[in-house]
Amino acid sequence: MNTRKETLSRIGDWLDDRLGLAAVGELARKKDVPQHRHSVWYYLGGMTLFLFLVQVATGILLLFYYRPSAEDAYESIQFLMAEVEFGWLVRSIHAWSANLMIFTAFLHMFSVLLLKAYRAPREITWISGVALLGLAMGFGFTGYLLPWNELAYFATRVGTNIMEAIPLIGGFAGHVLKGGEDVTGATLTRFYAIHVAVLPMISALLLGLHLYLVQKHGMSVPPGVEREQGSRPSMPFVPNFLLRDLVGWLTALAILAILAAYFPFELGEKADPFAPAPIGIKPEWYFMFMFQTLKYLPAHLLWIEGEVVGILGFLVAGLLLLILPFLDRRSARGESSRLFTWIGVALIVYVLVLTFLGYTASPTQ
Amino acid sequence: MIALRHVSCASLLLVGGLAVPVLAQQSQESCVTCHGSFSDARLGGPVRAYTEDVHAAKGFGCVACHGGDALDLGMTAMDPAKGYVGVPGREELLLVCGRCHSSAGFMRRYNPALRVDQVAEYRTSVHGELLLERGDERVATCVDCHPAHAVKPPSEPTSSVHPLNVAETCGRCHADRDYMQSYAISTDQHDKYLLSIHWEKLSVEGDLGAPTCNDCHGNHGASPPGVTWVGNVCGQCHSVMAELFNKSRHSQVFAMLGNPGCATCHGNHEIKPAGDEMLGIGEGSVCGMCHAPTDAGGMAAAEMRSLVDSLKFAHAVADSLLSKAENAGMEVSQAQFELSGATTALINARTGVHSFAVDHVREAVDEGVEVALSAQARGRSALGDLRFRRLGLAVSVGIILILIAGLVFKIRQLEPAKARQT
């Protein structure tokens, strides 16, 4: 027994000499998480990270069978789902965890926004987080086309057409992204490359930065809690908070398993570029509020096309969201910032209402 | 007498210089100036109706058919010396219309795709024979189907010869019992046709390729199909069935018995959708009209029905299994695609019935049953997989719940209740 312990200890020492594991362990032991009435929101970041890791793992498994061409893509997914052992499970979990990840990422962003966790010195943490959400949506947009089915094909056509309406760069960017004038096999291979190489690489870098900054600055305490008198309790990150995180992750895993078994992602019909577009083509739910907004805009606002105004509006809104920590000066000084709280609430209501309308209003409205 | 009428008519047209096709005219005619001012339907109606006529659209004016001088503003415009023919007689219409419509050289300038044998065909039709040989002016001629001054191409939905309107156009005479009394033919064709699968396809499904009167009887050469060549008429569309039937023994027997081929079993104007109940010797079967259950034909009919039913059953079971699996979210599209082979085999078996040969039907049925059984196996396998998935799900969720309970227990161990409250 002692010999075994000694062996393990020697291996640990050997690794510590080379990797500095003791310093990492020390860091983990020292890390505390504040405890207050809003602590529950702290778990969303970890949940999003867990779902991202599920994405990476299932994505790699899908790569073993997926063939990125207009001729083979649909058939390769069909084969994966019908013939490969647990292929259906891997694909369904990949698709469901993608949706759940974007959902938790949105929740995470809105909780940070309302709790003013973006204020100094966490401006770059916020910016990297918003950028990561944008990347997640990019993953969704590019991944949606990969099965090369009818809905994905026409939704991508609509999506890329909207993108092309961006003044100055839209036409060029759309052409580069599509690999031509229309969505074809060339678009599929480009989306594939972006989905499995470009976006993961950028995401890995940004995620590393985001996690480093979270570690460096610790968890933000909301200004309202900070202003309260008295001692503020906290819990050790390891093992107390981590164990709670694990409970959340396991719950997410159980939800994913149930969704995959009872609501497997359908493959639909293979894309036919010559077929008429099905009625009521809709984008993925996380693009719905933007899509619906564009539908409500009139053909022209003054002398500019309504669609162009809408797209420019979203670009400006995205930019303002990105630089939010620099706009909210009151929060930065630790003062109450009701204006930005209401802006955050208005944003959430807007996204919810427009998304609801997107699924309930007539396709022609 | 009839020959004399032909000669006089032709002479009049020759004198009038109308024996050669006329060219389209663009200028306003004096005929329109006067006749357009008449409120009377007989005198003014043609001018008003003509604005929508296909000939007006091509630039033809009144004189193209009626002759006369369009530039003359007086009554002398209608001088026979100027070629005026007035209202052409029933028989003269063939010459008036045929002057352009029988000339390939002329027609290609306006409508190169249009046939130029209408008048020649008309002469061979029952209508043409009655008009030209018996002088019966009650039969249809050009303007009865293509209303004078309101002629529209068949592609025009309001045209009297648009596929959806042909039955009504023919029915105006053929469904009129009083009008048709002297011809001793039935007048229920129109009503029966409206009950047929052909009219349903045409009117409900909008399939303009579905047959209407002229598709079986011919249009300009309209006549009832002969007993021995009904199959050729139906075979225009149902070619495989017609070919099998023509090679079968029934083809000759029907001809000997004076039975009108396909129409013997399927009827003529009131053609209902063909169903499997027509096969065999049970209720609703057409084989039973001639065959007894114990004769060779009756037994063959029963066997063919049994074969078709067996394939239908195998197909239905496979389809049900695959649908059940699909609705549960299983990927069975490949199996469903393969099952379409059994659907094709079922169609082939039903078509093969027209050969009246049991072996022919059996060949298609055997092929289809094999495919259907394979699809059934895949459907059962998919449903088995589904059960496995759900069992796996239950086990996985159970394990996860145990892990969660363990973690919660561990957290409680780490943080006694009192500490958690502070």
Q: How confident is the model at residue B14 (pLDDT cuts 50, 70, 90)?
A: very low
CATH (domain of A97):
1.20.810.10
A325 pLDDT more than 90: yes
B30 pLDDT more than 70: yes
The Cα–Cα gap between B330 and B324 comes to 9
A49 pLDDT more than 90: yes
Among chain B residues, the shortest Cα distance to A264 is held by B329
The answer to whether position A337 is within a domain reads no
pLDDT tens readout for residues B198-235: 999 999 999 999 999 999 998 898 888 876 777 788 98
| Residues of A in Cβ contact (< 8 Å) with B331 | 78, 81-82, 88, 264, 267
Cβ–Cβ gap A243/B396 under 8 Å: no
String of b and e for B165-181 (b: at least 16 CB within 10 Å)?
bbbebbbebbbeeeeee
Non-local CB neighbours of B386 within 8 Å, separated by 6+ positions: B325, B328, B329, B330
The answer to whether position A145 is within a domain reads yes
Count of CB atoms within 10 A of residue A191's CB?
25
The answer to whether position A8 is within a domain reads no
B19 pLDDT more than 50: no
Size of interface A-B (CB pairs under 8 A): 60
**Residue B365 is encoded by which pair of tokens?**
């049925």
| Residues of B in Cβ contact (< 8 Å) with A89 | 389
Share of chain B above pLDDT 90, in %: 61
Lowest-pLDDT range, A50-59, A222-231, A234-243, B200-209? Answer: A222-231
Q: How many CA atoms lie within 13 A of B130 on its CB side?
A: 14
Domain that holds residue A65: 41-219+234-279
Tracing tokens 């669609």 back to the chain, one arrives at A307
Shortest Cα–Cα distance, A266 to chain B (Å): 7
For domain B296-390, say whether CATH 1.20.140.10 is its number. Answer: yes
A123 and A325 in contact (C-beta within 8 Å)?
yes
Non-local CB neighbours of A261 within 8 Å, separated by 6+ positions: A89, A92, B389, B390, B392, B393
Q: Which H/E stretch holds residue A236?
A: strand A234-236
Share of chain B above pLDDT 70, in %: 91
Q: What is the pLDDT of residue B344?
A: 96
Interface of A with B in 123-182 (CB under 8 A): none
The answer to whether position A125 is within a domain reads yes
Share of chain A above pLDDT 90, in %: 62
Non-local CB neighbours of A310 within 8 Å, separated by 6+ positions: A290, A293, A294, A297
Is B404 within 8 Å of chain A by CB? yes
B264 pLDDT more than 50: yes
A16 and A215 in contact (C-beta within 8 Å)?
no
A132 and A210 in contact (C-beta within 8 Å)?
yes
Which residue ranges make up each domain of chain B? 1-151, 153-223, 231-272, 296-390
Closest CA to B360 of B197, B249, B203, B230: B249
Cβ–Cβ gap A88/B331 under 8 Å: yes
Mean pLDDT confidence for A12-31? 86
Among chain B residues, the shortest Cα distance to A78 is held by B331
Between A305 and A200, residue with greater pLDDT: A200
| Residues of B in Cβ contact (< 8 Å) with A243 | 407, 410-411, 414
Interface of B with A in 85-144 (CB under 8 A): none
Mean pLDDT confidence for B340-351? 96
**Residue B37 is encoded by which pair of tokens?**
């001012």
Q: What is the pLDDT of residue B108?
A: 92
The Cα–Cα gap between B9 and B28 comes to 28
Q: What is the pLDDT of residue B83?
A: 87
Q: Which H/E stretch holds residue B209?
A: none
End-to-end CA distance of chain A: 74
Is B408 within 8 Å of chain A by CB? yes
The answer to whether position A287 is within a domain reads no
Closest CA to B283 of B300, B262, B296, B302: B302
Lowest-pLDDT range, B75-84, B143-152, B170-179? Answer: B75-84
* Mean pLDDT score across all residues of chain A: 91
Residue A275, phi-psi category: left (phi > 0), alpha (psi -120 to 50), beta (remainder): beta
The answer to whether position A81 is within a domain reads yes
Mean pLDDT confidence for A108-122? 94
Q: Which H/E stretch holds residue A345?
A: helix A338-360
Tell me the angle at which helices A185-193 and A123-145 cross, rounded to the nearest 10 degrees.
Answer: 150
Q: How confident is the model at residue A129 (pLDDT cuts 50, 70, 90)?
A: very high
Q: What is the pLDDT of residue B24?
A: 59
Q: What is the ipTM of this complex?
A: 0.78
The Cα–Cα gap between A104 and A129 comes to 12
Cβ–Cβ gap B407/A253 under 8 Å: no
Ranges A32-36, A304-308, B70-74, B364-368, most confident = B364-368
Cβ–Cβ gap A257/B397 under 8 Å: yes
Non-local CB neighbours of A23 within 8 Å, separated by 6+ positions: none
Class of residue B402 by CB neighbours under 10 A (exposed 0-12, middle 13-18, buried 19+): exposed
CA-CA distances (angstroms) from residue B259 to B243, B251, B264, B265?
A: 17, 9, 6, 9
Non-local CB neighbours of B339 within 8 Å, separated by 6+ positions: B315, B318, B319, B322, B371, B372, B375
Is B325 within 8 Å of chain A by CB? no
Closest CA to B213 of B194, B227, B228: B194
Query: B154 — phi, psi (to 5°)?
Result: -60, -25
A350 pLDDT more than 90: yes
B7 pLDDT more than 90: no
Q: How confident is the model at residue B20 (pLDDT cuts 50, 70, 90)?
A: low
Q: What is the pLDDT of residue A70?
A: 94
Q: DSSP class of residue B355?
A: G
| Residues of A in Cβ contact (< 8 Å) with B396 | 254, 257
Q: Which H/E stretch holds residue B253?
A: helix B249-257
Q: What is the pLDDT of residue A1?
A: 55
Q: What is the pLDDT of residue A168?
A: 85
| Sequential DSSP letters for A6-54 | HHHHHHHHHHHHHH-HHHHHHHHHH-EEE-STTGGGGHHHHHHHHHHHH
